[in-house]
Amino acid sequence: MKKRKICVVTGSRADYGHLYWIMKEIQNDSSLKLQVIAGAAHLLKQFGRTVEKIEKDGFSIAYKARMPLATDSPEAVSKSLGIGVDSFAKGLKKLNPDLLVILGDRYEIFAAAQAAMIARIPIAHIHGGESTEGLIDEAIRHSITKMAHLHFAASETYRKHIIQMGEEPNRVFNYGAPGLDHIKKTKALTLQELESCLKIKIHSPLFLVTYHPVTLEGKKSLRSAQELFKALNHFRRGTIIITKSNTDPLGLSINQLIDEYVEKKSRTFAFTSLGQEIYLSLMHHATLLVGNSSSGIIEAPFMGKISINIGDRQKGRLRAKTVIDCPENSGKIKQSIQSGLIRSKKVKPDFLYGKGRASMMIKKEIKYFPLGADLLKKKFYVPAGCR
């Protein structure tokens, strides 16, 4: 029997950690053939050249989609997006997959979706229906939803959002967030193992910090990052570990601010890319998560961790009670961290985004769901009461 060719696109550490177990599920299924396209930030030295991590994890890269990024300006990102569409189109022509699997809302994933749509390749999209009001990702995510043919939402609320956008209910599934599978299936490294891997000494309390640009706010993100650093200056005990920003506009500029901050502050360390095992292990041992990463909204509550969510980057996403929202003001951030330190001693896990079993169920759907011309032809679904 002919194997169904499933092509998975990963553009950065942001999506790879969520896709890892889906890729493993496909790789281990004898009736499926996994094709991996790695591109964008994975291939860039300034973002850790994480393509090597994918290969080290046992995945063969079928095609490398190059999206060079000279600077972090909007013009440079737009140019990279255009190059990316061309590069993904060439990769998809070479591989000719039966189904393309993409996750999230970043511009490199947008490029892959456009190329697949024009090539008439069915698209399965993960993490649609969500809202991040402070980001261009909001528009990208919903655009991909309208280009996609199968949808895997991370909650029932998000499933309903996708259907509200006119997608047929029998193509929309809620299996939870696949990134939680890593937490469920991977044993956390000990503090001693982490210290050995990172070549640092970790003291309590441990703050795990990630701050990305809020892309609809422009250069305000740079001032907001400075406000975060001012707040962290008040905490002289413990260890601060900062994971650097992604390839969004102004990401490189924020990384430069991070480097300057780390040089001045003791017991503070910055890493371009930690990899999922180390990052989640640090989260396991962390006293608090601080910043504006989606991991503070999705993974941290699942681990029973308090997260300080700063600003509007994640505005609109469903929140557990373990998330403390605060404005991008050093005084308010300081107060929120102090409150989080008190609350961190009594926290229970929250299962708002599932229980860590999404990858297996997503794999089953992409294995058995009928493909072909009928899947490509989409009707705009309107509920009976709205016709």
Contact 332, 374 (CB under 8 A): no
Given a cut of 70, whether residue 44 has pLDDT beyond it is yes
pTM for this entry: 0.91
- Percentage of residues of the chain with pLDDT beyond 70: 99
Contact 337, 231 (CB under 8 A): yes
Task: State the average pLDDT over residues 365-377.
Answer: 91
Task: Tell me the H-state helices in 103-179.
Answer: 107-118, 137-147, 156-164
199's CB contacts (< 8 A; 6+ apart) are: none
212's CB contacts (< 8 A; 6+ apart) are: 245, 246, 248, 251, 254, 291, 292, 293, 313
Instruction: Write out pLDDT tens, residues 229-265.
Output: 999 999 989 999 999 988 777 888 999 999 999 999 8
Instruction: Write out pLDDT tens, residues 105-126.
Output: 998 999 999 999 999 999 999 9
Given a cut of 90, whether residue 72 has pLDDT beyond it is no
Q: What domains are defined for the chain?
A: 4-179+356-386 (3.40.50.2000), 189-343 (3.40.50.2000)
Dihedral angle, C-alpha 212, 217, 218, 220, nearest 10 °:
-80
Instruction: Write out pLDDT tens, residues 76-102.
Output: 889 999 999 999 999 999 999 999 999
Given a cut of 80, whether residue 386 has pLDDT beyond it is no
Instruction: Write out pLDDT tens, residues 121-172.
Output: 999 999 999 988 877 888 999 999 999 999 999 999 999 999 999 999 999 9
Q: Is 96 left (phi over 0), alpha (psi -120 to 50) or beta?
A: left
- Token code pair at residue 273: 């890319």
> At what angle are helices 191-198 and 276-285 packed, to 10 degrees?
130
pLDDT band of 281, cuts 50, 70, 90: very high
Q: Put the strands of the sheet holding 239-243 in their side by side order.
A: 268-271, 239-243, 206-210, 288-291, 307-310, 323-326
